[in-house]
Amino acid sequence: MPENTRPQRARRSCLAVPGSSPKMMDKARGLRVDQVFLDLEDACAPLEKPGARKNIVAALTEGGWGDRTRVVRVNDLSTEWAYRDVIEVVEGAGASLDCVMLPKVQSAAQVQWLDVLLTQIELANGLEVGRLGIEAQIEDPRGLVNVESIAAASPRLETIIFGPADFMASSNMRGLVVGDQPPGYDVGDAFHYPLARILMAARANGLQAIDGPYAQIRDVEGYRRVAGRSAALGFDGKWVLHPGQVEAANEVFSPRQQDYDHAENILDAYEFSTSVDGGARGAVMLGDEMIDEASRKMALVIALQGRAAGMKRHDIWSRPTGGEG
């Protein structure tokens, strides 16, 4: 995977909060989510948007977000609101913000527009140039067919996000439950193609891949099922629309304890055996399992996910004291 020099942030659970509701923003401060995004786009009615910008600036500058990643979703570039969203929020609270989310991205040029605008605002306001990251939503066919160039468009990019609701609408998919399978498609996962394509474009550029919302907020089992699919595919996290989905997201996108322990044990065993003390061999045994450089890379993925989730190893491999093992 190409190296990404952006800060590495956990994004198992990404909570959507309407910027029009100071009450909901306040409540979000108490939820155990990895990321909060304050929304100026589809969760705010047109007449609410100017007021929502002010609410968001106030909520960010007031603070109280702990170590959650703080993101604002602005409106898309086809609207009259996008430029003013970025200017008002970043001028007002740029130092208290981590990333700007751009919805309905259709081309690399749209990401570059945001990159340039952020640089100008950072320069004019004495903010560190390049600190703010970009999250790009892919939610329609044009965005999906251009996702490879979009994912390579800016060094500010941190994630590519799938937007199932707008994607279903714009591609004429015959379903009404956001994030769930369209009725009648009984031969597989109707979202496999966009999810896999987004994942490849993200990974090819060292970015995270995030799955979008599941709108049946009372059906936590349904959420687990849908989230489990994108987690198995390799996605890093998923949106949550309701406090009831948070625990499921954090669990589904964290490794299981036994996998985390195993991964850390593989890393230790491999490091030991490739060192001079351990005999400097390239392939070694851990119990009945043969491990080599490829196993080390697989283990590293799980170990990093677990460390980001604050996991601690339970089952510690005892390292041999001599050169054998």
The footprint of Mg ion (CB under 5 A) covers 139, 163, 166
Q: State the first-to-last Cα distance of the chain, in angstroms, to the nearest integer.
A: 31
CB of 150 to ligand GLV, least distance (A): 16
Phi, psi of 176 (to 5 degrees): -120, -10
Told to check if 94 binds ligand GLV by CB under 6 A, we report no
Binding mask 128-147 for ligand GLV (x = CB under 6 A): ---------x-x--------
Q: From the list Mg ion, ligand GLV, none, pick the one residue 212 interacts with, judged by a Cβ distance below 5 to 8 Å according to partner type.
A: ligand GLV
CB of 258 to Mg ion, least distance (A): 37
By beta-carbon proximity to Mg ion, the closer residue of 34 and 166 is 166
CB of 202 to Mg ion, least distance (A): 18
How big is the site for ligand GLV, counted in residues (CB under 6 A)? 10
CB of 215 to ligand GLV, least distance (A): 8
By beta-carbon proximity to ligand GLV, the closer residue of 16 and 286 is 16
Which 147-206 positions form the footprint of ligand GLV (CB under 6 A)?
163-166, 178
By beta-carbon proximity to ligand GLV, the closer residue of 214 and 260 is 214
**Residue appearing with tokens 């996702």:** 147
CB of 303 to Mg ion, least distance (A): 33
**Interface with ligand GLV (CB under 6 A), residue from 19, 212, 237, 306:** 212
Q: From the list ligand GLV, Mg ion, none, pick the one residue 75 interacts with, judged by a Cβ distance below 5 to 8 Å according to partner type.
A: none
Q: From the list Mg ion, ligand GLV, none, pick the one residue 94 interacts with, judged by a Cβ distance below 5 to 8 Å according to partner type.
A: none
CB of 164 to Mg ion, least distance (A): 8
Q: From the list Mg ion, ligand GLV, none, pick the one residue 164 interacts with, judged by a Cβ distance below 5 to 8 Å according to partner type.
A: ligand GLV
Per residue, what are the HEC states of the chain? CCCCCCCCCCCCEEEEEECCCHHHHHHHCCCCCCEEEEECCCCCCHHHHHHHHHHHHHHHHHCCCCCCEEEEECCCCCCCCHHHHHHHHHHHHHHHCCEEEECCCCCHHHHHHHHHHHHHHHHHCCCCCCCCEEEEEECCHHHHHCHHHHHCCCCCEEEEEECHHHHHHHCCCCCCCCCCCCCCCCCCCCCHHHHHHHHHHHHHCCCEEEECCCCCCCCHHHHHHHHHHHHHHCCCEEEECCHHHHHHHHHHCCCCHHHHHHHHHHHHHHHHHHCCCCCCCCCEEECCEEECHHHHHHHHHHHHHHHHCCCCCCCCCCCCCCCCC
By beta-carbon proximity to Mg ion, the closer residue of 93 and 102 is 102
By beta-carbon proximity to Mg ion, the closer residue of 139 and 236 is 139
CB of 167 to Mg ion, least distance (A): 8
Tokens of 15: 């909570």
CB of 269 to ligand GLV, least distance (A): 43
**Separation between Cα atoms, residue 14 and residue 11, nearest integer Å:** 6
Nearest in space to 235 (alpha carbons), one of 162, 184, 166: 162
By beta-carbon proximity to ligand GLV, the closer residue of 135 and 139 is 139
By beta-carbon proximity to Mg ion, the closer residue of 163 and 194 is 163
Which positions lie near ligand GLV, rule CB under 6 A? 103, 137, 139, 163-166, 178, 212-213
